[in-house]
Structure 1
Amino acid sequence: MDTLSEAPRKTKKQRAVLSCMPCHFQKIKCNHVRPCSACCVRGRQSKCEYTVTLEDRWFIEQAQLLRRLQQRRNFLEQRILTLLSASNKTIPVYLMPQIQQSDPSKQREKQIRSRNASRRSPTTKSTCRRAVQPKRKSDEQPQHPVQSSRNLHARFTHTERCIQSLVEVFSSDINGNRTVPFWLEQAVQIRASSPLLCAAIEATSFVLMGKMASDPKSTHAGLVRYTCALRLAGAALCENVRRLHDDVFVAITLFGMIEMYEGSSKDALVKHQQGGLDLLYLRTPSNHCNGIGHSIYADLRLSWILSAILHRRTFLAHDDWKTVPFTETNPRNNLHSLLDIAAGIPLLLRRIECAAQDSHPASPCSSQNGSEPTVEEQGTYLLQRFQEWRETQTVEALPDPIETLFIVLDDFPVFEVQDSASGTHRPRDLIYSNVSTCATTISYWAFSLSVPLGRSLTWRYQYACNICRSMRFCVQNFPFSLASLSCEHEELYCTIPHF
């Protein structure tokens, strides 16, 4: 009877419930974030609650890993002891405690105590309690336990890791310190209060992770969330008050970034840019003086100006959009001073198109009084302002790019130039000291090329070649940064027809 009572009983091991309570009871797939995607789609974000926290779920996985490692260690030590005993060799000192632990009576008592403890408390709570309790000296493990699989506990933290990668990609290095854009940092923190913002951030993060890691599963997961975010954005834009909120503005901006990464359709990026400009115009400059609105306009102003040039939107040239978002604590830098001049390019292009189409005299594109400058005078004035801006920049503030010492032979697209003296040849690439200098220099070239008046074709060809020679530096050093993406779009504006 004693033998039967001491025999270990086979009990079914209960797994901890890691899904939220609504998904667990309805047996719906949950992505283990708060609020989860299933609750966001069904409009029950406030009911998305968990029985355990994210920290508890991580501790559970670590406790399971430690148990497996301890069992493996005990098995290997037993094998070593058996082999040493069979060969009549001296047992090492570090294996001596294991001989005491291998006593059958002590092992049996230890199993009975652990079995009784599991009966007194639920499995989930006991697992969490064992995970957070301090370990005894005999059970201490290194601070970074060896992971036997690359997918260890990734099921619960994959979303958080993708979002962290998104934040790291868009952070900038200023004097050795990594600075995260304020609008992105705040959006990540408040995403739990907005299903639209949550879906948009997750979609951008998963698509970015899929591109960087060449993981089609992550990309597909991001596109699924992107579809959900588009549906929520469509419903929000139908409400006059709701569409002016910051979360909608951030989501529309993130949609454009998703299209830069993925390119789901030919006109999707253009439509998102146009929608973002419409929303920016409706919000007025007063909503961009502080907070997320100020950060998303000031940090991404280069993209807004480029979109305005592409869609011929002229409202960014008004003084309110030039002065209101900038204060004494946040003054203009070299790039913003250049963007103040470039904001007048859309008006010039609209006047050129109206003149080419023989527009009606009452059209806003045409001159209504003799004091207004002509198209040629306006184009010459813009080029003169660009030239004056370049002359005011010192070598320390805006150093000139330098050529590489050799030509790299790899799979990067080859760029060749045509010279009347030497014929066709491949020039060396241009390199810059940092991404800010690269973005400012290429912006100056691209904006100058966007003015289709007053310069010779030789001058335009040289600037266009310089932009192409800078693409390797942008793509290889900052493949997914906003500056690199802006530079790639600036190259498209070099193809504006010249009249």
Structure 2
Amino acid sequence: MAGELCPSAPDSRVRKAPNRQSRSCKVCRSRKVKCDRVKPCNACCAHGYPSKCVYENIPDEEARPISQAEEIKNLRTEIRELRARIDERHRDQEEELERLDQLESLFESIRSAPQSVVDQLVREIRSAHGGLKKDLVKVGPWEGYEAYADYDYAGGSHQSLIPIRRRFGDSSPDLNFNDPLSDGDDEDGDMEMMSLSSGSDSGSSGTISIMSMQRPAVDIFVERFVDAFSPEVDIKSGRAGALRAAAEIRMFSPLISDAFEAVSVAFFGRSVRNKEIEASGFRLYPRVLRGLQDALIDPERSKSEATLVTVTLLLAFESVERTTQSGVPAHVRGAVRLIEHRGPENHMYGVEHLLFTELRPYWIGGALATRQPSFLAREEWKTIPWSAGTTTKDILHHLLDLATEVPGLLYQSDQFKEAKRSSVMGAQEVAVKQTSLWNAIADLTGRFYQWYHDWVECYPDGPPEEAEQTGAEGFPIFKRRDFRTGAVYDATKLVYPNLLLAQTMCVYYAVRLILSSIDTRPEDRVSVLEQYELGCGICRTYEFYILTAPGNMINRLAFPTRVAWEAFPDKGPERAFMTEVLSLVERRHSLGLWGSNMSEISTHKNSPLNNGS
């Protein structure tokens, strides 16, 4: 038939599929798993039958699997070449390593020698006359560079500007009050001392590239930092082991390890007034911030102890360097957001518990500075972290249970003042809200008085005692006013049975001062004279605390110090004394935060009163 196709005629629409080349071994293909095309492949070796690893239908050379023997031979060749390159680089760095050995010997002396020897070594480092400086290579600071880091603490954003620049002309930290050391004008002397060599081929900047290769040197820096910020003290001095416990787990977290290295190197450089070592810590700081940002945006890592430790270390870094005026409060706010994000159940054990409880005054101080209600006032945050018995509440924490309520009252007062100013409330509503605020202030003030009776007057080791100021170790003399005559005279100092009670009383004076700033009750309110006495209580505690506290525990009085500063009139003898104390602490403890009047932690900054209400 004409329309009938011939059976033998080929159909152009039907094509025979070509043979497909196998890219997997027979076993992997049957099990439908990925094959690495090595003979025998990893999957067959892992399952214990390498002899069954067979490749079929492999017509061309390119598709053939790689022999394991051939792959091993290639890897060995590559290893030999890499070793040769490393050996060549080591030969080029022999001089640098010799200098590092010399520096490590010096650090070991500082670490283990008696205090008198250490003081002498530090003097030699600062004066830098002869000796080591002839053999050491100078590494200049990171001038003109600014590192930016944006990071988000559990939904809240923060932008931090970290200017890396020369910042040494305005301060010269000392280790002792009356240490007759160089005055910081020797531009060449202490610059050249204690510098590590920079590796030109390492791909990283200056000192850190060498230090990263020599962990013992970094460990010494970390140990000095931990001794300063987490000294070993008895329980009557207040717990101070959080950062020491964190240092013990840094090997398990690159983020914690980098943070400890950056902070401790910068702190050591600042404490011996060596710009090159301090700049080395700065070089790591942006990398730590980037690592923190990556951790914070990860739902799981944001709740890890490594993230909380890193934020706390950055807070310590800012107290040392004060890179920006907003650095300390920004890190405090970030840490508080992170703590809330983690929940109270995640602060019952280990490092997390210590960081929450030991630094609880900082977290509450941050809420007081922002004048916003705090989650820390909720009952679960006053109970759950201690429910496992890891530590027990002491006199300070019982005071802080009350202090957590003050930020909410500050907010209530600010909102009330703002509403009155804008005339959005009627007379009756104003009266109701005013009465409610006064009642809350009266109730909390009464509970503060009760706390004082229960805990201070009945303190097992005895209450604070008064004594004459002697100006021991060159400590400045606090002069106060007589409100009746206007005369200025030497006040008595307060002596405490232990550091814990001294810190607690300063927090008590500070919180009472803050609460009194919104107390406008017509009766029973805190008078101006009482406010003055509360501020004087903080100043009268300085000599005991500063001369007794080990390491940098003085940072625990930073917030009370700023509160007391705001209680005194400008250009008076009280502020003149406080200025001397701030300078002394900055020099003795290498704390840049204390080199100013710490305006960034002011509780008045966010008040409507600053806007003329």
Which segment drifts farther, 308-317 or 341-350?
Answer: 308-317
Partner of 1:76: none
> Are residues 203 and 371 of structure 1, via their aligned partners in 2, closer, same or farther at CA, if it must alter by over 3 Å?
same
Partner of 2:453: 391
| 1:326 counterpart = 2:386 | yes
Measure the CA separation in 2 of the matches of 1:21 and 1:471: 59
Measure the CA separation in 2 of the matches of 1:213 and 1:403: 36
Shift of 1:400: 3.1
Q: Runs in 1 of length 4+ with deviation above 6 angstroms?
A: 20-23, 149-152, 175-180, 359-363, 370-373
Measure the CA separation in 2 of the matches of 1:290 and 1:150: 40
> Are residues 198 and 164 of structure 1, via their aligned partners in 2, closer, same or farther at CA, if it must alter by over 3 Å?
same
Shift of 1:287: 1.1
Q: Alpha-carbon deviations, 1:163-186, whole Å to 9, x = none?
A: 1123323134227999862x4344
Partner of 2:490: 426
Q: How does 1:189-200 map to 2 (within 5 A)?
A: 189-200=248-259
In 1, are the aligned partners of 2:464 and 2:494 still within 8 Å (CA)? yes
Q: Secondary structure at the match of 1:357?
A: helix
Q: How does 1:155-174 map to 2 (within 5 A)?
A: 157-169=216-228, 170-174=230-234
Shift of 1:22: 13
Shift of 1:373: 6.9
Partner of 1:88: none
Partner of 1:438: 502
Q: How does 1:143-154 map to 2 (within 5 A)?
A: none
Which segment drifts farther, 193-202 or 438-447?
Answer: 193-202
- Matched residue type, 2:528: L
Q: Secondary structure at the match of 2:333?
A: helix
Partner of 1:490: 560
In 1, are the aligned partners of 2:481 and 2:487 still within 8 Å (CA)? yes
Percentage of pairs with the same residue: 23
In 1, are the aligned partners of 2:386 and 2:392 still within 8 Å (CA)? yes
Partner of 1:400: 463
Q: Alpha-carbon deviations, 1:388-438, whole Å to 9, x = none?
A: 000012454363333444431776555431213360123243332322111
> Are residues 179 and 286 of structure 1, via their aligned partners in 2, closer, same or farther at CA, if it must alter by over 3 Å?
closer
- Matched residue type, 2:557: C
Measure the CA separation in 1 of the matches of 2:336 and 2:237: 32
In 2, are the aligned partners of 1:246 and 1:292 still within 8 Å (CA)? yes
In 2, are the aligned partners of 1:317 and 1:344 still within 8 Å (CA)? yes
Q: RMSD in angstroms over aligned alpha carbons?
A: 4.1
Shift of 1:321: 0.2
In 2, are the aligned partners of 1:197 and 1:247 still within 8 Å (CA)? yes
The counterpart of 2:439, out of the listed 364, 377, 401, is 377
In 1, are the aligned partners of 2:194 and 2:274 still within 8 Å (CA)? no
Measure the CA separation in 2 of the matches of 1:180 and 1:346: 26
| 1:213 counterpart = 2:272 | yes
Listed as ranges, the gaps of 5+ residues in structure 1 are: 1-19, 29-53, 63-148
- Matched residue type, 2:449: Q
Q: Alpha-carbon deviations, 1:435-463, whole Å to 9, x = none?
A: 21111111111111110212111001011
Q: Alpha-carbon deviations, 1:101-149, whole Å to 9, x = none?
A: xxxxxxxxxxxxxxxxxxxxxxxxxxxxxxxxxxxxxxxxxxxxxxxx9
TM-score, with structure 1 as normaliser: 0.63
**Size of the alignment, in residue pairs?**
360
- Matched residue type, 1:304: W
In 2, are the aligned partners of 1:313 and 1:346 still within 8 Å (CA)? yes
TM-score, with structure 2 as normaliser: 0.52
Shift of 1:208: 3.0
In 2, are the aligned partners of 1:203 and 1:223 still within 8 Å (CA)? yes
Partner of 1:461: 532
In 2, are the aligned partners of 1:407 and 1:428 still within 8 Å (CA)? no
Q: Secondary structure at the match of 2:506?
A: helix
In 1, are the aligned partners of 2:469 and 2:491 still within 8 Å (CA)? no
Partner of 1:34: none
> Are residues 210 and 268 of structure 1, via their aligned partners in 2, closer, same or farther at CA, if it must alter by over 3 Å?
same
- Matched residue type, 1:423: A
Shift of 1:361: 12
> Are residues 321 and 163 of structure 1, via their aligned partners in 2, closer, same or farther at CA, if it must alter by over 3 Å?
same
- Matched residue type, 1:316: L
